[in-house]
Amino acid sequence: MPMILTAAELNTSLNGRLEGNAEVEVTGPAPIESATKEEVTFLANPQYAKYAAETSASVIIVSKDFQRPSGFEPTIIRVSNPYQSFTRVMELFQQEDTGLTGIHEQAFVAESATIANHVSVGANTYIGENVEVGENVSVFGNVYIGNRVVIDKDTMIYPGTVIYRNCRIGKNCIVHGGTVIGSDGFGFTPQDDGHYRKIPQMGNVIIEDHVEIGANCSIDRATLGSTVIRHGVKLDNLIQVAHNVEIGEHTVVAAQAGISGSTQLGNHCVVGGQVGFVGHIKVAEGNQFQAQSGVPRTIDDKGKAWAGSPAFDYRQALKSQVVYQRLPEVEKRIQSLEQEIQRLQQQENKDANHDE
Amino acid sequence: MPMILTAAELNTSLNGRLEGNAEVEVTGPAPIESATKEEVTFLANPQYAKYAAETSASVIIVSKDFQRPSGFEPTIIRVSNPYQSFTRVMELFQQEDTGLTGIHEQAFVAESATIANHVSVGANTYIGENVEVGENVSVFGNVYIGNRVVIDKDTMIYPGTVIYRNCRIGKNCIVHGGTVIGSDGFGFTPQDDGHYRKIPQMGNVIIEDHVEIGANCSIDRATLGSTVIRHGVKLDNLIQVAHNVEIGEHTVVAAQAGISGSTQLGNHCVVGGQVGFVGHIKVAEGNQFQAQSGVPRTIDDKGKAWAGSPAFDYRQALKSQVVYQRLPEVEKRIQSLEQEIQRLQQQENKDANHDE
Amino acid sequence: MPMILTAAELNTSLNGRLEGNAEVEVTGPAPIESATKEEVTFLANPQYAKYAAETSASVIIVSKDFQRPSGFEPTIIRVSNPYQSFTRVMELFQQEDTGLTGIHEQAFVAESATIANHVSVGANTYIGENVEVGENVSVFGNVYIGNRVVIDKDTMIYPGTVIYRNCRIGKNCIVHGGTVIGSDGFGFTPQDDGHYRKIPQMGNVIIEDHVEIGANCSIDRATLGSTVIRHGVKLDNLIQVAHNVEIGEHTVVAAQAGISGSTQLGNHCVVGGQVGFVGHIKVAEGNQFQAQSGVPRTIDDKGKAWAGSPAFDYRQALKSQVVYQRLPEVEKRIQSLEQEIQRLQQQENKDANHDE
């Protein structure tokens, strides 16, 4: 049963200025190029202005200075930031749809586990001994929650997630499918005979509040102490977080990045896709890393931008990239210089001989 | 119980020319260097010709111009393309072996789900509300299929796969273990206080027909609309496909590559391992990318080859790589030139003084 | 119930020299900066010496030449290698804690499977037909073990792991959560119409003894024959091992590295994070690869170090990196030279004209 909202109701929520039919009803949001007349859309990027004249949407959210084409039919809602307002519209239409209702008959929950009110647990999910699950937590099906794990309230754990023993997940977190939290850190001592001896990994992982973790990430437990993901961190998919790493508050990491053991990222950093950090370094707050960068050492400066492998100053890196692409030509220029210098030397010698 | 085929039967299937014992029986294919006398092998690569004289195989598939060594015992089947014919032989011997037989007693299938004929569902698999599963679909054990997912006929879903609500999988697809389809796109709006606010991810993933997806991939649902994997696409393992990406027909992507949000890859592209694409770009059909490339912008040309991070023309990139490896020497040549120029300048000054 | 050991007991195990209260009791190991008085810590890195004076730990393991600060209270145990001794201490305190006790009532084990003594199988785990599981093997919950898989004794399979049919795992192995072993290799034959035809993947994966594999790795089965991970190999998380790869004994591979089809890594190699190997190459034993390297060809030399993409000699690569970062300046030097040469040429022409 889809939700239905009128243009007037949307306008009230957005605190906008409505022009046109206030009573028209829409059942959901859509992009401008594919919206139907049951939908609401928005125009933020001027590149998409051409679609405005053609859109079938019944309601369109636009900026305050939008020029209404003649004969334009959709109801208009003028706001200061159409993109942000549209995000609000999406939130309005988003209905909770976990498909979960309480503890599924085919879930296994240990008797020693403490399950708060309004918790859902899906089929084929295992919740181990002495686990604590807070209010309003949704654990989907096919999840494994090891012994003594703590999950604080309002958190969602998607299907296929694995959380090893003793790890702690905060409030209002989201963990997507296939992610493994608390697997052993990668620690071995080389022996004299060339074999490696495993170093016990006895710590855990602590994930603070309002953290979102994408699909198929790996977050290793600490050797001792904790691997820590601070408040508000957002991790994309397929990210590697090694043992004893700490990621600072509100830092954002794109897909397939990797952070080696004991490295500390500061608050409010932005890490591009496929970036790698070596182990045992500290990165100050507010640093930004272009995709595929390799970060080889501690960064004490705050708020800088980096690129390259090894990473260096972003603007410098862009310039080096340009020269790199014409290195063969650069080398030819050196050859020309060498030939000309040789000619000048020969001329000089000739002159010298001539002078004698 | 192994399948048994005679050389004559193989020859008929391959439309080849048989020399030797047509009645010899083999039970399976094997590489030339390890085949036993119960096996059939092939010789395509001249580098392996030395193994032909020594192979224990009873049947060997060779090219039309193969020179039979004196005293050579195996039965020969001559074909125009031994490698392709051998692939055909492998198909002949491959017996369906899912280990699945109908709906396992320990599977959970929602009553509202529509399950066609000849569908198998393994143990510990969850099939949600209003899911539609077509004929001859095999869903292995420990799989999670969310509400309203549609899986068309003849498709195989391997163990440990997670498919979120509303996603659609086409006909004759294969999805390998641990892959997550339909997790939330990575979309957040930065707030004035430095926090990030989640943008609802309300779309889905559409996978067309004859698509194969490897193990532990992540394919995010669209913010609105669909992330689309077109007909015949082949994805290797550990690949990241972000929200609203579109991958064109018959494009092939190697392991650990990543495609950022809203990027569109054309048809018939070939993407190497660990390649990264930035978001919001379009790549025309038939482009090829060397492993570890980083693709920073839209590519309008068709059928070109690329390498490097950022990626540029493949041949140019190979040349730049060569010069890069001797950059220290290049710099020394510049130093020599500078010293020689300085000497010439000094000489010039001396001459000038001398002239005065 | 925590384990309790006295300083005297620790000292005996470490074969050390004790100074101070031999009867003091500790319940576990901790890092020097966070240890409480119930814990034992160590000092190996001189950078942490400042913490020694402040630590609350009751026992501290130090090197033989440690200078005891005046008024220093903890019990001291002097050893030749504090780091190695502390690893031993961690092993002493590590208590087996799988939370597993026999075959869980909610596990599915096929009747044809052979399960040795002292095997544990967790809830929601599937063990297929004709599987063989050796003594003391622990298979956690939510694991899928396909038909005819063999798992040798003393091995641990963590939750969420998927092992496809016919694969073999050796003794004393550890496989972490989310890892997929035996998925199809990525093999397709391009057809004349631009479609790809799947090459059957009929081989398996063989993992020898004492191998540890991290979380969310993908190890593909061979097309024919076996993908082989040799004795003592250690793989970190999110690693791609393609079909028919062989990884030599005691080779160590860091997170997110990828090894393409049919490539053979020698024994005792060390592979950094996010490294990529192209297919069909051989790497001799003892080679080391810096993080993010791309290895494009066979390496016959043993024991060398490599960096860069494409990878070349490590020391050379470090030098090239330095010059790369100032390429724009290098190009300016060439421009200056060109200008000066041009001036000299003009001067030469002027002189020549003057001479006439």
Q: Which of residues 294-353 of A touch C (CB under 8 A)?
A: 294, 308-310, 312, 316-317, 319-320, 322-324, 327, 330, 333-334, 337, 340-341, 344, 347
| Residue C53: predicted pLDDT | 83
| Residue C338: predicted pLDDT | 92
- Amino acid B222 reads A
Beta bridge partners of C60: C41, C76
| Residue A98: predicted pLDDT | 74
Q: What are phi and psi of B90, to 5 degrees?
A: -60, -40
Q: Which of residues 160-219 of A touch C (CB under 8 A)?
A: 160-162, 164-165, 178-180, 183-184, 186, 188-189, 194-200, 202, 216-218
β-strands B218-220, B212-213 pairing:
unpaired
CB contact at 8 A, B288 and B302: no
Contact partners for chain C, using 3 or more CB pairs closer than 8 A, are: A, B
How far apart, in Å, do the first and last CA atoms of chain C sit? 105
Decide if A178 and C178 are in contact by the 8 Å CB cutoff.
yes
Tell me which residue in C108, C180, C258 faces B255 most closely, judged by beta carbons: C258
Q: Which residue of A has its CA nearest to B279?
A: A273
Residue that has been written with the tokens 């990491």 in this structure:
A253
Q: Which of residues 235-274 of C touch B (CB under 8 A)?
A: 238, 240, 242, 256, 258, 260, 274
Work out the minimum CA distance from A166 to partner chain C, whole angstroms: 11
Decide if C186 and B236 are in contact by the 8 Å CB cutoff.
yes
Work out the minimum CA distance from B194 to partner chain C, whole angstroms: 30
Cβ contacts of B242 on chain A, cutoff 8 Å? 236, 255
| Residue B114: predicted pLDDT | 98
**Inter-helix orientation angle B327-355/B314-325, to 10°:** 70
ipTM of model: 0.94
| Residue B355: predicted pLDDT | 62
β-strands C258-259, C226-229 pairing:
unpaired
Tell me which residues of B are annotated as active site: 243
Decide if B159 and C126 are in contact by the 8 Å CB cutoff.
yes
Q: In what order do the strands lie in the sheet with C264-265?
A: C114-115, C132-133, C150-151, C168-169, C204-207, C226-229, C246-247, C264-265, C282-283
Work out the minimum CA distance from C132 to partner chain A, whole angstroms: 24
Q: Which residue of B has its CA nearest to A91?
A: B200
Cβ contacts of B123 on chain C, cutoff 8 Å? 108, 126
Cβ contacts of B143 on chain A, cutoff 8 Å? 142
The H-or-E segment that residue B344 falls in is: helix B327-355
Mean pLDDT of the B277-297 span: 98
Q: Which of residues 222-241 of A touch C (CB under 8 A)?
A: 223-225, 238, 240
The percent of residues in chain B predicted with pLDDT above 70, rounded, is 98
Give residue-wise pLDDT tens across range C333-348: 999 999 988 888 888 7
pLDDT band at C54 (very low <50, low <70, confident <90, very high): confident
Mean pLDDT of the C279-285 span: 98
CB contact at 8 A, C183 and C177: no
As a whole number, the mean pLDDT across chain B is 94
| Residue A54: predicted pLDDT | 87
Cβ contacts of C328 on chain A, cutoff 8 Å? 316, 319-320, 322-323
Mean pLDDT of the B104-118 span: 97
Mean pLDDT of the C119-142 span: 97
Work out the minimum CA distance from A73 to partner chain B, whole angstroms: 23
Decide if B122 and C126 are in contact by the 8 Å CB cutoff.
yes
Between A127-136, B257-266, C92-101, C289-298, the lowest mean confidence (pLDDT) is in C92-101
Q: What angle do CA C220, C222, C226 make, to 5 degrees?
A: 110
Residue B328: asked if its preceding bond is cis (omega within 30°), the reply is no
Q: Which residue of A has its CA nearest to B143?
A: A142
Between A102-116, B25-39, B46-60, C181-195, the lowest mean confidence (pLDDT) is in B46-60
Work out the minimum CA distance from B286 to partner chain A, whole angstroms: 23
Residue to test with chain A: of B189, B191, B195, B224, most A Cβ within 10 A: B224
CB neighbour list of residue C343: distance below 8 Å, 6 or more residues apart: none
Is the pLDDT at A59 greater than 70? The verdict is yes
Query: Residues, chain C, total?
Result: 356
How many CA atoms lie within 13 Å of C194's alpha carbon, on the beta-carbon side? Answer: 12
Is the pLDDT at A1 greater than 60? The verdict is no
Instruction: Give the distance, in angstroms, between the CA of residue B302 and the centroid of all CA atoms in the same chain.
Output: 21
| Residue A6: predicted pLDDT | 96
| Residue B205: predicted pLDDT | 98
Tell me which residue in B94, B238, B273 faces C238 most closely, judged by beta carbons: B238
Decide if C240 and B250 are in contact by the 8 Å CB cutoff.
no
CATH homologous superfamily of A161-315 equals: Hexapeptide repeat proteins (2.160.10.10)
- Amino acid C112 reads S
Q: What are phi and psi of C354, to 5 degrees?
A: -60, -40
Work out the minimum CA distance from A205 to partner chain B, whole angstroms: 22
Cβ contacts of A220 on chain C, cutoff 8 Å? 214-215, 237
Q: Does any CB of chain B come closer than 8 Å to the CB of residue C91?
A: no
Spatial distance between the Cα atoms of C294 and C298, rounded to a whole number of angstroms: 12
The percent of residues in chain C predicted with pLDDT above 70, rounded, is 98
Catalytic pick among A104, A176, A210, A243: A243
Q: Enter the CATH code of domain B5-93.
A: 3.40.1390.10
Spatial distance between the Cα atoms of C283 and C270, rounded to a whole number of angstroms: 11
Cβ contacts of B345 on chain C, cutoff 8 Å? 340, 344
Mean pLDDT of the B46-69 span: 88
Give residue-wise pLDDT tens across range A201-241: 999 999 999 999 999 999 999 999 999 999 999 999 999 99
Q: Does any CB of chain C come closer than 8 Å to the CB of residue A128?
A: yes
- What are the DSSP calls for B90-143, one per residue? HHHH--------SB-TT-EE-TT-EE-TT-EE-TT-EE-TT-EE-TT-EE-SS-
Spatial distance between the Cα atoms of B77 and B70, rounded to a whole number of angstroms: 17
Give residue-wise pLDDT tens across range A151-207: 999 999 999 999 999 999 999 999 999 999 999 999 999 988 999 999 999 999 999
Is the pLDDT at C213 greater than 60? The verdict is yes
Cβ contacts of B256 on chain C, cutoff 8 Å? 240, 256, 258, 276
Work out the minimum CA distance from C286 to partner chain B, whole angstroms: 23
Cβ contacts of B319 on chain A, cutoff 8 Å? 327-328
Is the pLDDT at C275 greater than 80? The verdict is yes
Q: Does any CB of chain A come closer than 8 Å to the CB of residue C2?
A: no
Residue to test with chain C: of B92, B142, B285, B344, most C Cβ within 10 A: B142
Work out the minimum CA distance from B17 to partner chain C, whole angstroms: 23
Task: Kindly provide the b/e burial profile for residues A241-268, where b requires at least 16 CB atoms within 10 angstroms of the residue's own CB.
Answer: bbbbbbbbbbbbbbbbbbbbbbbbbbbb
**DSSP type of residue A48:** G
Q: Is C243 part of the annotated catalytic residue set?
A: yes
